[in-house]
Amino acid sequence: MTTSDDQVETHLAARSALVDSLIERVTDLPSFVAFLAALRDDRTDAAAKDRLNPPSPHGPGAHDWENVSIESFLEAAVGWAEDWKDREDGPLADSNPWRVAARIIYAGKYYE
């Protein structure tokens, strides 16, 4: 890898970490949309990496994406929300509905 490649990889890793950090900063419609844009960019980059280096069928792809079809993504998000909905101290107990929505959507990325 060249220095330029290293810089690109560092930038992309930072962008993926940004998605994680944005969840807790979601408070309103603009911050929710910013989170969605970051998640979209994370998926776009992961898909490009997966095309170049296909992941194992038994593990996540680039950026830890488990659910790459819209069907599996939505199924995972719904499953995660159903598993957490009755827990008073869980991630859905947050009083901010925008942050709760962001957490549910983000779960579509990784939940199985």
52-99 residue pLDDT tens? 999 988 889 998 999 999 999 999 999 999 999 999 888 999 899 999
- Judged against a pLDDT cut of 70, whether residue 34 lies above it is answered with yes
Strand, coil or helix: 111: coil
| pLDDT above 60 for 11 | no
**The token pair that represents 43 in the structure block:** 């998926």
Bigger pLDDT: 16 vs 37: 37
Helix (H, G, I), strand (E, B) or coil at 46: helix
Residue from 26, 5, 30, 13 nearest 101 by CA? 26
